[in-house]
Structure 1
């Protein structure tokens, strides 16, 4: 998290709007988003949160039985990388040993709630975290350090920004984070919008042994970065480089809180949730020391270390924050391994003791597992044996192994140093490789089918409603790291066509990645328009609606969402079946509100449900098929394209051929075509596509004519070209509406020839789905577009 010196608010003119740019004091949430974007294998912060909440419940049960597995007081070894530019020790950036020691003393005062120090409080909610920080006395090679806890490094540059720190400095200087808490003290030159110098930031704990998901955040960046002018304690010595207001060492207390899993006290949202029940909600970060500040219906705890108050104001961690930290220490692999590190005591030369962990102990056939060495005794060589793995042996410290045969296998590690060789560590039945499940159907739905109505409205929770929800989705953690999504089944409980509505209404089934805010839907990975008439028939028959995507949707072994986008302009109504409230506790259901923001049902509606959505996934491809148009006039040409196999055979009337990936049909009535694929090992060998044929012949007044209105590119960044073809002439209105029917823009033109062409620019509109609309006389033509 970044803590910033406060500065004057700047007003910046942007896209013809005045927007106030207020400085932030901490941006670990932003930094965490950047880290997860660079390393999508980390999963989401919401995944970590779910595991952490469950672990806290387990720990409370263990405490009630008098056993937690953790010592009463935990000791964490620290190394401070003092990054300088050639200055003498004790001068400028090359801060003195006394300044480092003053900072670590302050850190212990705050985390131990020591009486007689600024870290003490008599608030009944206040907690002694029972964590102490010690200076490492040996380096990673087992050698005694000249200055305990200090690694001085000449970076050969005056100051650093985040990109250089993350990409160059940290990977060049970090010590094994399974053994050391890494702290980098540098000259930070980053500023945020609105001004203000960054004071520091932290990396959250890794995702903590969640089954099926690689969990380690990058070892080379794990730790905390602090600006050298805010590292130390001006009350404990003469440290002239320290800046006022943030000179009492609380920047490190704050960032260490993030490193141990704490969130900002205001939950990074107006009256947000920091997942600690005893920290009162507040509207935003505090500045200065506004004792007695009231927001969100309560008096704010501005003295909390996880707020943005001045150093002199801070003096409390709460009991629930302690519970959260202790759960992290028991749950997060890298944090837990620090408890067995012996680098703070007198190092006795001895043979190594082998130890390791795997990022996952269950994998699908062909999957990979990363092994991490955790051995004591400073080994210098490693000898691994992987039963059933490729390679079968390795001398790397942290190897990655592929498993291409099913079964349950053992792993052996022997480590060596100058004193001798360890006793072999053999973990039998340690890795399970699954042969079944390479093709699978995944759902979170396990409860009573329900169609939930709004409490204070006339609509449906998982459909069109008075909140004007734009879409709903179901989150899939993808714990077994499937790579392909071929299709989905969605059980609709309600389907109604608007009075007088066109028979060509569609509902869009969408797949998003799970990289949005707090694990919500992010970028669109795939879409499929489903005719409303199909959903009407499925609801009448009490069966799910089955969707096969036009082409494979690459979920890449990561979390994803499957859901439905709702149009409002037509007046049609659909609603997805969910469980009853309280039957699903994993917060997998999401909705997109009328402003385009994604929210969990559990957070925004207080509902714990799962949608009745099934995802068809696999490690192997499936046959998939697409039609150039799903609505045509009698006898019009439609092109059918198949993907996923090497040999294709078609079944259907009126095809120009029955072989090959592409065929042409000219149906005179609604018809279905089946394609069978072969030549490859497939999850699904068959796909069916239906082409809907309109009654009668096409006329100039036919609305929504597929070939009349074209918008390219689609999806786009908001800059598009509109092409409208047809014999009509006259005054033409070109507009753009949101999916909720709100008009974004409107232009008037004259159509004087068969072809009308016009550019559109909505690049400043939020990401989402829109309708480009042309009105000419009594005719209305619409085209659905996606703005990325």
Structure 2
């Protein structure tokens, strides 16, 4: 297990993205995606370039997060997140049903409360750090809008009314999710705490939203939503978006890079100490049926953002 140092805070801003997808794609993929692609880090780096002041803000959030963890002053009580789902569709399949949307909320509630059926599949090596995050989600409203766009890319156009999208609803107190055709091999992306409220939230390709309807294997179990909401709650990719990088969590093993598919256990890292990788963690790139746990360190990191003074404190305790 690696030790997280506060000196790693500045390094957050310079993580290199190892996604293989092109965020500038303008055409929806014709074939099903076989490898998970999350554009959260790419979008974050673009935001840093557009707004240099964001780097300082993110450093401050990281310092606050680490202080909360080190001093053990974390949120006590239940956090309930109201969710707004914005559906942008060109085809009937993209106009996902209310039932499919609710299935995604149900998956979030199971995964963030250790009620997922595969939670007990966590290997004994990690049983001592597997965590019940204890955050619940409630679907509050669904907004729908027809569009002629074949794909939206990752420049947040789906969040802007002037560009044909749907603006977020009360983003400081509600989690906004967008279902649309992203394109470029991207399943979804999220905005870390600290970004502009006008673009805050989670985007998921309609083919990988929830359990039913247009959901496509091997990403048909709603875990793209779990992964992206993890980012929205300040979790990094488990490999730190760099070779043997840090995810700023103390109880996750150092991964040399992303894992795909469903790796056979144990899967050893090539990094120092050759630890067994936590490939079943929601913040890796494995298939939906290959990810089924958060760690205690990740739980503490997520809880910190909702504490008084944290970047999502407006959601309340």
**Fold shared by both chains (TM-score > 0.5):** yes
Partner Cα separation in structure 2 for residue 233 and residue 30 of structure 1: 27
Q: 2:65 aligns with which of 22, 27, 52?
A: 52
Q: Is the 8 A contact 2:251 2:297 kept in 1?
A: yes
Check 1:175–1:162 CA distance in 2 against 1; reply closer, same or farther (3 A cut).
same
In structure 2, the residue matched to 1:93 is 94
Shift of 1:51: 2.5
2:85 equivalent among 74, 77, 80: 80
Distance 1:121 1:113, change over 3 A: farther
Query: Are the structure 2 counterparts of residues 120 and 104 from structure 1 closer, same or farther at C-alpha, using a change threshold of 3 Å?
Result: farther
Task: Tell whether 2:37 aligns with 1:32.
Answer: no
Structure 1 unaligned residues grouped into runs of 5+: 7-22, 63-67, 137-148, 192-196, 207-216, 341-788
Structure-1 separation of matches of 2:167 and 2:174: 12
Counterpart contact for 2:239–2:257, Cα < 8 Å:
yes
Contact 2:36/2:260 (8 A) holds in 1: no
Higher strand share: 1
- Which residue of structure 1 aligns with residue 188 of structure 2? 200
Q: Alpha carbons of 1:172 and 1:152: their partners in 2 closer, same or farther (altered >3 Å)?
A: closer
**Residue 305 of structure 1 pairs with residue 282 of structure 2:** yes
Partner of residue 260, structure 1:
233
Name 1:229's counterpart in structure 2: 207
After TM superposition, which residue ranges in structure 1, 4 or more long, deviate above 6 angstroms? 2-6
* Counterpart check, 1:181 vs 2:175: yes
Superposition deviation, residue 301 in structure 1: 0.5
CA 1:99–1:270 in structure 2 vs 1: closer, same or farther (change >3 Å)? same
Query: What is the Cα deviation at residue 272 of structure 1?
Result: 1.2
Query: What aligned pairs does 1:60-459 form with structure 2 within 5 A after superposition?
Result: 60=72, 62=73, 68=74, 70-85=75-90, 87=91, 91-114=92-115, 117-121=117-121, 123-136=127-140, 149-163=141-155, 164-165=157-158, 168=162, 172-189=166-183, 191=184, 197-206=185-194, 217-234=195-212, 239=213, 241-290=214-263, 291-295=265-269, 296=271, 297-330=274-307, 333=310, 335-339=312-316
CA distance in 1, matches of 2:299, 2:49: 29
Q: Distance in 2 between matches of 1:28 and 1:332?
A: 24
The answer as to whether partners of 2:153 and 2:182 remain within 8 angstroms in 1 is yes
3-state SS, counterpart of residue 276 of structure 1: coil
Distance 2:136 2:231 in 1: 16
Secondary structure class of the residue paired with 1:55? helix
Contact 2:129 2:295 in 1 (8 A): yes
Higher relative helix content: 2
For the 8 Å contact 1:82–1:186, the answer to whether it is kept is: yes
Contact 1:205 1:260 in 2 (8 A): yes
* Structure with larger RCO (C-alpha < 8 A, sep 6+): 2
Report deviation, 1:3: 11
CA pair 332-224 structure 1, distance change in 2 beyond 3 A? farther
Q: Deviation per CA, 1:474-507, whole angstroms, max 9, x where unpaired? A: xxxxxxxxxxxxxxxxxxxxxxxxxxxxxxxxxx
- 1:261 Cα shift? 0.3
SS at match of 1:225: strand
Q: Distance in 2 between matches of 1:79 and 1:120?
A: 31
Cα distance in 2, alignment partners of residues 181 and 338 from structure 1:
9
Contact 1:79 1:182 in 2 (8 A): yes
Once the two structures are TM-superposed, the CA of residue 172 in structure 1 deviates from its matched residue by 4.2
- CA change 1:153–1:229 in 2 (3 A) is same
- Does structure 2 retain, via aligned residues, the 8 Å contact 1:111–1:119? no
Residues of 1 paired with 2:145 and 2:310: CA distance? Answer: 28
Q: What pairs with 1:633-648 in structure 2 (closer than 5 Å)?
A: none
Match of 1:109, SS state, is helix
In our comparison, the structure showing a higher alpha carbon Rg is: 1
Contact 1:177–1:334 at 8 Å: present in 2 too? Answer: no
Q: Following TM superposition, by how much is the alpha carbon of 1:332 offset from its aligned partner in structure 2, in angstroms?
A: 6.1
Alignment of 1:455-474 (within 5 A): none
Unaligned ranges ≥5, structure 2:
1-16, 22-34
Deviations 1:254-276 (A, max 9, x none): 01000000011111112111111
Residues 81 and 182 in structure 1, CA contact (< 8 A), matched pair in contact too = yes
1:5–1:313 distance in 2 versus 1, CA, 3 Å? farther
Task: Answer yes or no: is the 8 Å Cα contact 1:5–1:199 preserved in 2.
Answer: no
Task: Look up the SS of the partner of 2:306 in the other structure.
Answer: helix
1:615-634 counterparts in 2 under 5 A? none
Change in Cα spacing, 1:334 to 1:271, as seen in structure 2 (3 Å) is: closer
SS where residue 305 of structure 2 aligns?
Answer: helix
Distance in structure 2 (CA, Å) of the matches to 1:49 and 1:329 = 13
Distance (Å, rounded) in 1 between the aligned partners of 2:107 and 2:279: 19
Instruction: Measure, in 2, the Cα distance between the counterparts of 1:287 and 1:265.
Output: 13
- Structure 1 distance, partners of 2:19, 2:220, is 13
CA-based RMSD: 2.5
Question: 2 CA distance for matches of 1:121 and 1:83?
Answer: 36
